[in-house]
A and B are shown apart, each in its own frame.
Chain A
Amino acid sequence: MTNRVPVTVSSRKSRREFTKKVDELIGQNLESCYQCGLCTGVCPAAAYMDISPRRVIELARLGLEEEIAGSRTVWTCASCLACTVNCPRGFDLSKVMEAIRLLTLRENIDRVRPEDIPPEERWDLPQIAMVSGLRKLTG
């Protein structure tokens, strides 16, 4: 489930800036996580992720933007908040997932393009799916 992730060398300044941006978007301090991994244990989607939820926090506080943004983990998260209600530190990981999604979406890079959804799917999906999916996966 958790594969080795190649690390990109980036300047210390850009790494600090990334961590600061994430901290601002989540309104919490990434340092408050003590890496117990309960978030990964309770996540129903962890099996489909290439970087575990716990590791997302670690990479974010190291400022390793490319490693997280390039993974499918934040796009696999369904914001079910199982991690949020179970964290012994009261840290809300769902906000980190959202922050990293937004940093990509705000560059006008959508994860889903409505025109790519097959017409029969578009016809079948109820509004609750379309609105929530497009809210989370497009800019």
Chain B
Amino acid sequence: MGLAYYPGCTLKTRARNLEGPAVASMEALGFELDEVPRWNCCGAVYSLAEDDLIHQVAPVRNLIRVKKQGKTELVTLCAFCLNTLKRANLLMKEDPAKRNTLNDFIDEGIDYGGEVKVVHLLEVLRDEIGWEVLAQKVKLPLTGLKAAPYYGCTLLRPRDVAIDDVENPTIVGDFLRALGASPVDFPETTTCCGSYQVVSAPGDIPEYARPILSSALRHGAEALVLTCPLCDYNLGRAQKELARRQSGFKEVPLLYFTQLLALALGLGPQVCHFELNHGHPESLLEEKGLLSRVESVQPIGGKQ
């Protein structure tokens, strides 16, 4: 089954380790991620000012291209892209005056009214495949891996685009449990990593990261599981700096959820691009015996 898929800019460069294992895993499960033709950058952040419609053009143009493909659902992987596209979609659905202005301005031949449903891949796994079915597809259970879900901001805030409960999200923990891992809860799971402040105040980022990383370690995590390339960059960069400054500070392996999915499905490290990861996760995964490639997964029946 083909799913309309929006990768976003960073997944083609620094976050190939988020995209590569997702594409391979979904293919193994019988779903093809079809890139939206001629997709453009979504703008990364949603414009919060009432009069700032020009910055809605980029995300809305992508949504129009999905509609033109004849698809009703758009799958995203990057947490920032999900947030920006889903909020722009909501604007087109709920604000007739702005919808008319944007439709008049965007010259794509058709009008758009928020018809496409924007979802994250985790929602596809939870709502369309289901944790039980996913668990049955696991060839190499991640037994003994204590991994802490780190949600960050944009999967859960604001409330009207959240993919799970804003205060007590369980989607990544449930996903890890389906793969056989042991999720580790910690209070800072939704605390901001500093986000785009890394551009103007890079020196502050370690101070955002310190409580997140130390709390995850204190709660027994061996690795952090991420969905956002900016969280990955900030935490990865910050923990190098913290280790340099503070003797005894331990770097935590940072992993994308899609890498763990690919490993659990038996696709092996070849599709995971671990060379792009922070915190050297390969030694931890090797130690747990999770880097082998096993027999291929049977695609999900009736979904092809």
Q: Which residues of A contact B (CB under 8 A)?
A: 24-27, 44-45, 47-48, 75-76, 78-82, 84-85, 92, 94-95, 97-99, 102, 111-112, 117, 121, 125-137
Contact among B78, B159, B192, B230 for A129, CB-based, below 8 A: B230
Chain B min CB distance to A104 (Å): 13
Q: Could you tell me if B49 and A133 are in contact, using CB atoms closer than 8 angstroms? A: no
Chain B residues within an 8 Å CB radius of A92? 48, 158
Chain B min CB distance to A122 (Å): 10
12 residue pairs bridging A and B, Cβ less than 8 Å apart = A25-B49, A48-B201, A78-B194, A78-B195, A79-B195, A82-B157, A82-B191, A84-B157, A128-B80, A128-B228, A129-B199, A129-B230
User: Which of B10, B47, B190, B197 counts the most chain A CB atoms within 10 A?
Assistant: B197
Task: Indicate whether A128 sits within 8 Å of B202 (C-beta atoms), given known contacts A79-B45, A136-B45.
Answer: no
Chain A min CB distance to B297 (Å): 31
Q: Could you tell me if A126 and B50 are in contact, using CB atoms closer than 8 angstroms? A: no
Tell me, in angstroms, the Cα distance from A112 to B201 when the chains sit together: 10
Q: How many residues of B contact A (CB 8 A)?
A: 44
Q: Could you tell me if A133 and B48 are in contact, using CB atoms closer than 8 angstroms? A: no
Knowing that A79-B48, A85-B166, A132-B196 touch, tell me 5 more A-B residue pairs with CB under 8 angstroms: A79-B45, A128-B8, A132-B230, A137-B196, A137-B200
Q: Which residues of B contact A (CB under 8 A)?
A: 8-10, 13-15, 41, 43-45, 47-52, 55, 78, 80, 153, 156-159, 166, 190-192, 194-202, 204, 207-208, 228-230, 233
**Chain B residue nearest in CB terms to A97:** B48
Chain A residues within an 8 Å CB radius of B51? 24-25
Q: Could you tell me if A129 and B49 are in contact, using CB atoms closer than 8 angstroms? A: no
Chain A min CB distance to B67 (Å): 24
Chain B residues within an 8 Å CB radius of A112? 199-200
Tell me, in angstroms, the Cα distance from A136 to B43 when the chains sit together: 11
